[in-house]
Structure 1
């Protein structure tokens, strides 16, 4: 069973019980990704590191120290 099937079952059950329908799958994905990004930025600032550029810096470091 995938997320769509579960959503349809939950929607049917909520309708039968007179409860509000659950949110559709993927409704809050962007908000979750933003909160993860903000949390990681906060943790970087609290650790005394720059809040931006962590991924690019890490990739450059990996590529620079790589031996052919």
Structure 2
């Protein structure tokens, strides 16, 4: 049984019992992904900068390195 079948069973049962129908599968996926992204951003902000520096800083340093004369 997949999520759609379970939803259909739950919707039929809710209709018989006079309860509100549950949300369809996938209804809140975007909201959940945004919440996860925001949580990760918050955790990174609280942790502060990394001691070793980021990949962008290392690449910038490597690209702007002058050849020996």
Report whether the alignment pairs 1:23 with 2:23: yes
What is the alpha-carbon distance in structure 2 between the residues aligned to residue 2 and residue 49 of structure 1?
A: 43
Structure with the bigger RCO (C-alpha within 8 Å, sep 6+) is: 2
Report whether the alignment pairs 1:41 with 2:38: no
Q: Quote the offset at 1:49 in angstroms.
A: 2.9
5+ unaligned residues in a row in structure 2: which ranges?
Answer: 56-69
TM-score normalised by length of structure 2:
0.71
Instruction: Name the residue aligned to 1:4.
Output: 4
TM-score normalised by length of structure 1:
0.72
Count of aligned pairs: 54
Q: Quote the offset at 1:36 in angstroms.
A: 0.1
5+ unaligned residues in a row in structure 1: which ranges?
Answer: 58-68
The structure with the largest alpha-carbon Rg is: 2
